[in-house]
Each structure stands twice: as structure tokens, then as C-alpha cells.
Structure 1
Amino acid sequence: MRWASAILIAALGTTGASAVTLTTDLPSPQPAGTNILVSVSESGDSEHLYQLSIAPADQPKDRRVIYAYQSSSTLEWSSVRPGSYVLIGSVLDVESGQQSAAVLPFTVLPAIPYGLNAPVVHPTRNPLVALYVAPPCGDPIRMRVRFFAPSIGVEQVTTPEWCLPQAPPHFLIAGMRQDTTYLMQHEALASDGTRLQSSWPISFTTGTAEIAISPSTIHAPAGPETSPPEPLIWNSTMIGNDALGLSPYPLATDLEGNLLWYWQRPVWALRPGADGSFWHITPDPMTGTANQLLTKADLLGNVIKQTSVRDLNVQLERRDDTDRINDIHHDVRELRNGDVAFIASVERLVTDLQGAGEVSVLGDMIIVTDKNLTIKWLWNAWDHLDPTRLATMGEVCGPGDAGCPPFYLGDESNDWTHANALALTPDGNLLLSVRNQDWVVKIDYDEGSGDGSILWRLGPDGDFTMLGGSEDDWFSHIHDPSYIADDAIVLFDNSNLRCEAEEPPPDCQSRGQIWQIDETAMTAELVFNKDLGDYAFAVGSAQQLANGNLWLNAGMLGTFAEPRATVQEVDPSGITVLQTDLDIFQYRSYRLQNLYSEATNGD
């Protein structure tokens, strides 16, 4: 193991100082799925940050960062992939910039009795999630698990995994109703994904969920017009409902409102991943400061990768960037090459730009990192948008205001941009929703080679000429725009400017919209516009389903004391074919094929 340690320390560019200590609360080996507390420590009185990485013992250069540098020195790790690993604990001296590291070998054993040539299924700490273990394979082959409840009949399949000799694949099974018996079987797959053979099914009965969820008031039940390929609803609830005892947990239901999955921790869930994962934001556990950690987690909530504001600011300082970020917020995207793009807030103290004298102003930054969370590309609103163009509704953040990031340079701060959604365009650039400017902007990203310039701004006072319609058609304070074709964008129009005007339209409502754009002629046409029955003063999401219908989430209706949300599926003619009302605020809602698929648009 000494050779592996030397290679790792050299690859990390650290000193390898012996003062770093790396320990675990449980000894090696441990069965797959065991939660391990890893402690990283170093002697000395200066401020330190701590990082945890992992590498296969026989491929020490293939290092994967689990936790980027952060304040906490005790980090939880769990793996459902058996094998021999090396844990790498790194320590950063904040003042000197010196990095030191220690390594610790750790073996993860299969969660299956030795010599057993049959699958087993284990319960987990989540009563709606099971751990399925297939037997080892003679030759490497891809496998997946198919599962269904005979009493329900809906079949689901997991993401495929490699089955190797001495390393049987382990699968987290989720998307199941409580107190229900399911049949599960693994399938060997050909290189093209077709099924070669299947095992005999084994049964598993889920437990009773440990959370309460909002009752679903169904006004339009699912029927033949609803989109069949997406029978699961993934919801990011927020704030909660104290009167009903509801906490803001990420969860999934079927179309009838039956709970299928949840994670019992109040987090800001952003979006589901394509591999049985989801992204969320949490406060710093040491300071309590909001929105400091961005995490990709598996279906049990185990950390797959996590970055922090502290680590990103250290990197920004090393890059000699002018700005630092205050938080990470609203959206994240995994790009085609495995890079990660997300939004962060940037605060500046400016003079005579947004009013007389010195004013704190909040802008936004897009950060793109590689798969190990090292910054590769940056975009800063301060470099590309006009800071003299105020927020269209004059938004100002005060201490503790809902929806505002932390700020430090004044008693209040102008909420200038409030970006709230990020998407990749068909031509490899980035689409950013800038809520408080009432614009969707296309940014020159060019798969990481772009200079960040604004290619165009869609919205009132932007770069497109509207074809037909009226100024009332323009959106305001929108959420979740994304491409559904090379020339079409779907979005959720909250309509704050319309609905909070001095003389708003009668019965003003938020809207689901599709805009067809011509980037050569620079024209935009509103080709779909659906009033949603109520005014959502904040948050929302929009998605085109496989059959062409739209899934629209009006996420903040009612009041903070009596929160409500409505999700509805609308066909291309504007008819609502499915509608459910909930007694909780909901940041986003997406329809999925299963919990192993990401939210897609029209695929």
C-alpha cells in the first residue's frame, strides 16, 4: 500500500505531511451499504478545511472527490459497490495554502453470504428502499433489476451495473409503495441493452413510511390523455406546513398521490439525476449559514459528491478572480461530459450605480466544475449584464428574507438578478433564467470554450421582436425555461409584473408558455399560452412530456401560513387532463419514467 500512498500524494500535489490523521468509526472490511464516519484531522492552531476522496486500490490515480474542502472534519461515506479502496483525507491550511494528505485502505465486502449463487434483497434505513444483490458473474456483463408489485402491475427497471467475478452488483431499489409486496429479478443485458436472461423473482415487502405528506386533492384524475411514459412525480417540497405537520422533504408519488420515495431531511432539492440520484442544497453544518453545500446523493441520501462555498472561494482566490460567492442556489446541471454547472450569488458594494451613494447589490455567477469539483469555467453577471438596469420590481433583500441569499456588505441588498434556472442549449451553450430582469439569456458557453458573452436576451426590452400578440404576452419573473426543440423554449411564467400591477388584468393568473424563436431573424412568437387557474407569486417549473403535453407546477399559492401548490398536465390544445392540489409549497415538480431517469423534455 505504500506505493499507492506515494502515487496518491504525488497526484494530489500535497506535502504528505505525517501530521494528517485519517480514521474511521468502523474497521475495514464492512459490508456494502454500511455507513462509515471518516475523520480527518491535523495538528496546529490555524484554520483548516477538509476533503475526502476515494480511489480503487489497484488504480490509485483514478481518484474521485466525495467531499470538496469544507469546515467539517467528520464526513459520512457509504458505498454499495464492493471492492478494495483507498480513502484519501486532505487538509488545507487556509492561511498558508499548504495541503497535506493521509491515506487509509478500506475494503467493502459484498452484502451477500459467501458462496451463495442466488440473489438476496435487504431492507435499508428507508422503509421504501431495498438493497438487491445479484450473485457474482463468471464473465463481466451488464445487469439491471426489474421490479413490480403484482397488486399494482407497474414495472420499473434500475440503471444497469457491471457484474464482475468476485464483485456482484448491488442495486438500490426505490419507487415502491409502503406496506406492499414487490417481486424483483435481475436481468443480464447484451451490449445493445436487450435482455439476454432473467433470474427467478424474489419477493420483498416494503415497510411503513415515517413521514407525512400533503394530501392530494385530485380535480382531474389521470386518464387516457395523460402521458404514459412518466407515471412517477418527483417533487421538491419547501418550507413545510406547520398546521398539518408537514416537513419539506424531497419525495416522489404516483399519479394518484401514493408515496413512492422520500428522504427524511429538509433540504432544498433541485432536480433528479439520471442514475438513481438527486441534487440538493443545505446549510453549512458548522455555522448554519444557508445554501453552502451542493450535494449529489443516492436514493438513501448518501453523498456521491459534494462541493462547498468555502472550497469554491478558495479556488476563486487561487484563480485571482475579483469576486467571491455567498451561496449556491436554485439550479444545477450535469453536462454531457460529466462536468457540473450551477448558480451562485455574488455581492458587490457599488457607488451611484443603483441609486445614490453606496449600495450592496446581489448578482449571480455560473460556475462549471469538472467531475471532481474543480472550477473549469466561470460566468459573472457583473461582467455581462448592465448593473444600472434595476430589478424590474425593485426587489431588495433584508436579513432573513425568504428567497434571498446571505449578504454581508450592507443592512440590505438590492436583489438585482436573482437567476433561478440553468439549462444547456442544443448548440452547446447555456440558457439562464434571470428572474429579476425578466429575461431568458443565452450565454456563449460553447461546450466550455465560450467567452461568456450574451448571445441574446429573450423577454421585454430584450433582443427579439415579438410576432403578433401584445406586450401582455411577455412573461415576468419566470422559472425553469428550457429547450424542447431547436427553436422552441418552454417556461413557467409567474406573471408577477402583470398580476401585481396597479391595474392588473381581471383574474390574473400564472401561465405555462412555449415560445418559438428564430435566432437569425431575431423574432419570437408565443405559440402556447395556458392560464393556470391561480397566481403563483414565486417558484414553479415546466416540462414537456413524451406525448407532447406539458407538466406545470404552480409552486407557491396561498400564504406562508396556508401554503398551496397545484400541478397539472395540459395537452397541446390547453385542456387540463390531470390536476392535483397540494397543501405545501413546492419548488419544482417533474414527471419521470422512474427514479433512475432524469427529467427530460419531450423525449
Structure 2
Amino acid sequence: MVTSPSAPTLSSSVSGTGNPLVASYSLTAPDQSQVKIQFGLTTDYGLETWLVPAPSGGGTVTILVAGMLQSSTYHMRAVVQLANSITIFDVDQTFQTGAIPADIPMPKFQVTASDTPPCAGVELVNLNPNNPVVTDLQGDIIWYYFNATDQAHKCHPMPLKPLTNGNMLVSCTNRYDGAKTPYCVLREVDLASKTVSGPNGPRELLMEDLNQRLENIKTPFGRTVQVNYYSHDVLPLSNGHVILLCQEFVNVNVGGTEILVWGDALVDLDDSYNPVWVWSAFDVLDINRHPFEWSPGAYDWTHCNAVQYTPDGNLLLSVRNQSWVLKLDYANGSGSGKILWTLGFEGDFAWNNLDTATWFFAQHDPFILETSDNSITQLALVDNGNYRAGTYPTPYSRGLILNIDETKMTAEISWQYPVSPNFFSFWGGNVNRLLNQNIEICMSDPIPCGSQQKSAPSFAVEVTVDQQEIWRMNTTPSNVYRSNRIPSLYPGVQW
């Protein structure tokens, strides 16, 4: 590759955005070229964005530069890769980041680490409540999401997820923020938290607009769904569709008495956010099975908290208050909605002759780790342990990795952490395997069981397969819903 140390013909500028940690870098790029931005605290730079193609015929390329510390001076320059394989560099530019506004609530992070380096990347922290942030591995905030309308409605993302186009997808709800009036919105935003525009206008969907569109579509069982809140997860699919998890409140006759039951629904939205397939727990689950959180005024029947796409085109749904993970017949949008299997206590899988109390209970965020052909072979989740069946005097929580066999319908524990029964986290959390093969576990509301019974800070911890802790980040005062190590803020870029 041929390089040129300078490019005086490049016309560029750097300006601020609505987010004080994000810069906007614009330059005129030649036809068929690609542009990325290098940036850092010195002219050694060290970090970079992804490559963005110039418009047809050449023209202005604008890249949002994110991943910077607050109140710091950064150096940055554009790198232009021409069609003839020559690379040219813009002159060095400087940008002064601002301070995070004092009226935006931010948690504090405390990191402890061993001499062994943790897995590279940054930490995406979804909070409950409050806005999601991204930190470096020293616990310093380098990016955050903020929307003034959300804050006015006491609404926060639950969760925020990176998209392959470089934007972020947020499913905002005020279900758990003490607001008197429901407010929910699905929104695609750029790195400056600005709502993205598409051919049909802003890429957002308010709950009241979704409910109008849902009047014209029925579940495979003939019901019409009306959403009361957006709920605990959103799943972007590779075809541009989005699976939105929602809560649905329905009056149901139970034992001769009509009560208002809190259930869940899934809505498949096309790339214009129009519903094209709808599923409801009220169609397929037994209303008389309610092992957890079933009491007058709060008949929280399902409390689903995660949805995943399976390799055979179906959906995996975590139903916390049933202590089940369901595989649903989605069939890439043409499925019957029926339950293909249930994984968990009193479900369809044999538990390899283990004590039934060692099943997971009231779980969070089942995540597919390994597959073979079109079958799931390994699954990670947080076993919160609420209402654990058996004779244990207190509940306990752990991160679990399960080996499962969808043909033989068997499941067994492959790995767990911590192994002590003297640890409990009432809700939240997630487990994942990192690129270095270590395991990251987030616990949202931990209580070290003992004489004081006081809540400890939420934490994310990176451990080796043999249980050696090499990195931990404690969070106060907010609770962490999920914490995920991601390569960087840009698709395909590893920091």
C-alpha cells in the first residue's frame, strides 16, 4: 500500500455535537474512497472509527467520533483510502470534550484487576433506571445515551443495543421509574443520541402508534394484542426486522374470579416498524401455573426478560416468573407461535439425574453460546434462584453455562460461578463468553447472605474457566441491568 504523509487538498472540519463526549468530523472525500478517523490523547492516536465510503462521485463524509473521556483534549485525523490503494492523511485536528452535564444522573465505577490483562474492548452498561453508558476497562465513562424527552417521562432504555450500521437501538420504558403515565418508544439513534431519519421519517415508534397498527393484525391464535408497556428486551434481526418484547395486561378468569394479569407479547416489526407477526403468552401458557410473584394487585404471570434468535429460524424466550426458557415456532415470521419446548424445572428436558433444586429459577438473559447445525448445544444465563424448588433454607444465585441436547432432550450444568450458596442477586444480570475464552458475569442486585443482609454494588466480573477473577467493575448507586464487553463503539473495529 502506498501512503502519503499529508494531503493539503483535503477540506475538513471538526465540531461538537449534542453529546459533549462526541465530535463530528467532516471532510470532502474523492469518489470510490473510504474514510476513517484516528483519535487519541496524543498524536500517536491509538483508537480509530470504522471505514465509511464516500458518496458516489465523491463528496462530504461525516463521521461521529466517540469513545473519549470527558473534559479532555483529543487529537484526531482522517485517513482516506483511495481506490488506487494510496492512503492519505488529513492534518492533525484537536477537539476538547466537555463535561457530562450535572443534571444527567451518572453512576460511579470502581475497577479492580489482576496482573492478567482482561479481554480487550469496552464495557456497555445498561442501567435500571438511568441512561446506559460505555466505559473503558478502567471504569471511566467514554460514551452515554441521553434524550431529553425520555428523561421528562422518567423513561430509560431497557436495553440499548449496537446495530451493524453503526447506530444504536433503544427500547425505552418508564415501567419501573415511578411515572404515573406510561411512556414507551423504540428508537434508532446515532452516536450523538440523535434519532436517525429514514425514508419514512424518524426511526422511532411510540407505543400508542404501535397499538394503532396492532389493531389490524392478529396472533396465529386469532387474538388482538394491545401493549401496555415495552418491556425488557429488543432483538434486531439480520433482515432489518426487530423483535420487540412488550407487556400486555389482560383480564382473565382464574378460579371463577376475573383478575388483571400481567403477561408478555412479542411483536415482529419490519424495517418500517410495522408489525407483521405477533405472539402472546396468553395463547400458549397455562394461566393456572404461576410459581412466582402472583399476588393481589400484582399478578405478574410471565415477566419475560430476553429474546434470542435460534439457528433454525425460531425464537428463544426467557420467562422469568415461570422459571422457563421457551423455544417458540417463529419460522422466520411465518410460524404458528406454538411452544416447541420448555427448558427448566417441570419442563420438557431431563435434568441429567441431578437434584431438581439445581435447575435455574427466575432466570435472566439466556444467551446462545454454541450451536451445531441448526441446534443449540450450549446456553448461558443468570440463575437468580428466586423461589428455588427444594429444601435450601435461602435462595442463591450464580452464572450458569448449560449443555443441552435438543434431540435427546437432556440438559446439564457445564460451568457455574460463584459456586458458593451464600450469594444471592434478586434480579437482573447476564453471562457471556469473551473473545479470550474467559467468562463475564453481571449481577444486578447482589446480597452477600450473612448477618447484615445489605445489598452490595452491582458488578461485572471477568473470570477464567477455572474460576480465577481477573477483572471486576462495581457500580454505585445505580443497578446494572446488563453489562457486556463489546469490541468498540464501531462495527468490526477492535479497541
CA-CA distance at 1:374 after TM superposition: 0.7
User: Of 46, 57, 60, which aligns to 1:168?
Assistant: 60
> TM-score, length-normalised on structure 1?
0.69
CA-CA distance at 1:225 after TM superposition: 4.6
Partner of 1:395: 294
> TM-score, length-normalised on structure 2?
0.83
Instruction: Summarize the Cα distance change of 1:466–1:158 in structure 2 as closer, same or farther, 3 Å threshold.
Output: same
Counterparts of 1:46-445 in structure 2 under 5 Å? 117-137=10-30, 139-150=31-42, 154-158=46-50, 160-165=52-57, 167-189=59-81, 196-211=87-102, 213-218=106-111, 220-221=112-113, 223-228=115-120, 230=121, 232-239=122-129, 248-265=130-147, 266=151, 267-274=156-163, 275-283=166-174, 289-304=181-196, 305-319=203-217, 321-352=223-254, 355-390=255-290, 392-396=291-295, 412-445=297-330
Instruction: Summarize the Cα distance change of 1:502–1:463 in structure 2 as closer, same or farther, 3 Å threshold.
Output: closer
Instruction: Summarize the Cα distance change of 1:469–1:444 in structure 2 as closer, same or farther, 3 Å threshold.
Output: same
Partner of 2:339: 454
Q: Using the aligned pairs only, state the percent identity.
A: 30
Amino acid at match of 2:194: N
Amino acid at match of 2:313: G
CA-CA distance at 1:159 after TM superposition: 5.6
**Is residue 38–residue 46 contact of structure 2 (8 Å, CA) maintained in 1?**
no
Instruction: Summarize the Cα distance change of 1:327–1:161 in structure 2 as closer, same or farther, 3 Å threshold.
Output: farther
**Counterpart-to-counterpart distance in 2, 1:579 and 1:206:** 27
**Counterpart-to-counterpart distance in 2, 1:598 and 1:493:** 31
**Is residue 445–residue 455 contact of structure 2 (8 Å, CA) maintained in 1?**
no
Amino acid at match of 1:555: S
Partner of 2:405: 518
Amino acid at match of 1:545: L
Is the radius of gyration larger for structure 1 or structure 2? 1
Amino acid at match of 2:78: H
**Is residue 359–residue 413 contact of structure 1 (8 Å, CA) maintained in 2?**
no
Counterparts of 1:501-540 in structure 2 under 5 Å? 503-505=392-394, 509-531=396-418, 534-540=423-429
**Counterpart-to-counterpart distance in 1, 2:357 and 2:77:** 55
**2:480 aligned with 1:580:** no
CA-CA distance at 1:556 after TM superposition: 1.9
**Counterpart-to-counterpart distance in 1, 2:40 and 2:75:** 6
User: Of 411, 430, 440, which aligns to 1:551?
Assistant: 440
CA RMSD of aligned residues (A): 3.0
Task: Provide the secondary structure at the position in 1 that maps to 2:424.
Answer: coil
Task: Provide the secondary structure at the position in 1 that maps to 2:432.
Answer: strand
Instruction: Summarize the Cα distance change of 1:279–1:310 in structure 2 as closer, same or farther, 3 Å threshold.
Output: same
Counterparts of 1:4-83 in structure 2 under 5 Å? none
**Counterpart-to-counterpart distance in 1, 2:211 and 2:493:** 30
**Is residue 171–residue 233 contact of structure 2 (8 Å, CA) maintained in 1?**
no
Partner of 1:30: none
**Counterpart-to-counterpart distance in 2, 1:597 and 1:501:** 45
Amino acid at match of 2:240: G
CA-CA distance at 1:574 after TM superposition: 2.0
**Is residue 181–residue 206 contact of structure 1 (8 Å, CA) maintained in 2?**
yes
Residues 478-506 of structure 1: per-residue CA shift (max 9 Å, x gap): 111111110111111111123x987435x
Number of corresponding residues: 450
Partner of 1:78: none
Counterparts of 1:493-508 in structure 2 under 5 Å? 493-498=383-388, 503-505=392-394
Q: Which runs of 5+ in 1 are unaligned?
A: 1-114, 240-247, 398-411
Q: Which runs of 5+ in 2 are unaligned?
A: 1-7, 197-202, 372-376
